[in-house]
Amino acid sequence: MSAPVAFVLKGYPRLSETFIAQEILALEQRGLDIVIVSLRQPTDTRRHPVHEEIKAPVLYLPEFPSREPVRVAKAWRRARRREGYGAAKKQWLRDLRRDFSVVRIRSFFQALVLAEEFSPDAGRFHAHYLHTPASVTRYAAMARGTSWSCSAHARDIWTTPDWEKRDKLGDLEWLVTCTDYGFQHLSGLAPEPARLELVYHGLDFSRLPAPPQARGNNDGSSETDAVTILSVGRAVPKKGYDCLLEALAALPEGLHWRFVHIGFGDLLDELKRRAQDLGIDDKVTWMGAQPHDQVIEAYRSADLFVLANRVAEDGDMDGLPNVIVEAQSQGLPCLSTSISAIPELIENGVNGVLVAPDDVGALRAELARLIANPALRERLGARGSDRVRRDFSHERGIDQLARRFGLPETSARLRA
């Protein structure tokens, strides 16, 4: 049995991070001894089925250290006796001078609790996300004198300042990231680019049904058989839902459609009000957060998937949204934007449609074209499903991660 590995996450479990849960389960099944470390208490009231299968225990760090002063003080007293404490504190103070924030202060005290409460036989620390989770992981690993690694994704890459990315990339043992777009950016900052590896998330097709044999031939001409447009994503600026609502409101009156949104987020109430102001609220269904089986069923029953991604004002943007990969796995035609890593999956006009971000006119035009053309939707959906099932199985990525964690080689051929 391998030494336990701490997987440091921002929160666990989270409905929006199915890909992380599937990765943890797959690595457990390969023999990795994982302890999940969460910086926050769970906020989602529901769980995905995959969460119930994960055996890893969960260590919740003090989300607000001031509310657990005794726990933090005990960890601090013990940590001060460690040989690596001085280096960890020095690094934290250096970071704090460049980024004086409550989050930075909290990260250090969470790191002390992690260093002292995690198993003394720990093999390594691994962070999911290069921003706060990696900071906590880095300080804890320095205090313990052990190695650490990281999985970088999207927001964490684009909202972390370059100086901090360079420091972390020079200190960690290895890093994987899930898009070539992010990989190229980080490689340009890394002192040793060989420490980095591109690992697409992929999907576990054993958990997914085959695409439906056929979808409806509705073309928007019938009010009783309206075309169902689905989007799955958090209500946050980078998802572009305000742009999407504007485009929907501008569709020709003769086209009959309904829009279904799955997800939560800070902008949800604002988006509901915007739909009312635009006069389309009677055509919009806000489902909120849903468990994964319900999301899959929504893909299968919809006619078109849309995600109007953009770069937010703070630089945040998606990489390759997992929901697009999932939607295509179910043969659902996808309309999105040509930013970040989305073109790594969707080739415009071949297995999906891409428009420029924030271009309401182009988005409206493509929506109208796809709503009115079921044959085009069918063709794009079939090609999207073929591409995903050929190139985005998660087995390849799990093989890469297993190798990084020192697990025995278990190729797809050997598993077969």
Quick check: do 5-202+393-415 and 209-391 share a fold? yes
Q: Is the pLDDT of residue 66 over 80?
A: yes
Average pLDDT over residues 76-99: 97
Cβ pair 317, 158 in contact under 8 A: yes
Which pLDDT tens digit goes with each residue over 187-205?
Answer: 999 999 999 999 998 899 9
pLDDT tier for residue 413 given thresholds of 50, 70 and 90: very low
* Domain ranges, ordered by start, for the chain: 5-202+393-415, 209-391
Residues linked to residue 5 through DSSP beta bridges, in sequence order? 34, 124
pLDDT tier for residue 410 given thresholds of 50, 70 and 90: low
Long-range contacts of 67-72 (CB under 8 A, 24+ apart): 71/113, 72/109, 72/112, 72/113
How much helix, strand and coil, in percent to the nearest 5, is found in the chain?
50, 15, 35
Rounded distance between C-alpha atoms, residue 362 and residue 248, angstroms:
11
pLDDT tier for residue 277 given thresholds of 50, 70 and 90: very high
Q: Is the pLDDT of residue 67 over 90?
A: yes
The CA-to-CA distance between both ends of the chain, in Å, stands at 24
Q: What percent of the chain has pLDDT over 90?
A: 88
Determine which of 14-18, 145-149, 333-337, 411-415 has the lowest per-residue pLDDT on average.
Answer: 411-415
Which pLDDT tens digit goes with each residue over 215-247?
Answer: 889 999 999 999 999 999 999 999 999 999 999
CATH 3.40.50.2000 fits 209-391, yes or no: yes
- Residue 115: closest CA among 75, 71, 67, 74: 75
* CATH code, 5-202+393-415: 3.40.50.2000
pLDDT tier for residue 47 given thresholds of 50, 70 and 90: confident
Q: Is the pLDDT of residue 409 over 70?
A: no
Side-chain half-sphere of 73: how many Cα atoms within 13 Å?
5
Q: Is the pLDDT of residue 411 over 90?
A: no
Q: Is the pLDDT of residue 412 over 70?
A: no
pLDDT, averaged across the chain: 94
Task: Quote the pLDDT of residue 201.
Answer: 87
Which pLDDT tens digit goes with each residue over 365-387?
Answer: 999 999 999 999 999 999 999 99
Task: Quote the pLDDT of residue 147.
Answer: 93
Which pLDDT tens digit goes with each residue over 250-272?
Answer: 999 999 999 999 999 999 999 99
Q: Is the pLDDT of residue 116 over 50?
A: yes
Residue 188's contacts (CB-CB under 8 Å, 6 or more residues apart) are none
Task: Quote the pLDDT of residue 402.
Answer: 95
Is residue 259 classed as helix, strand or coil in its secondary structure? strand
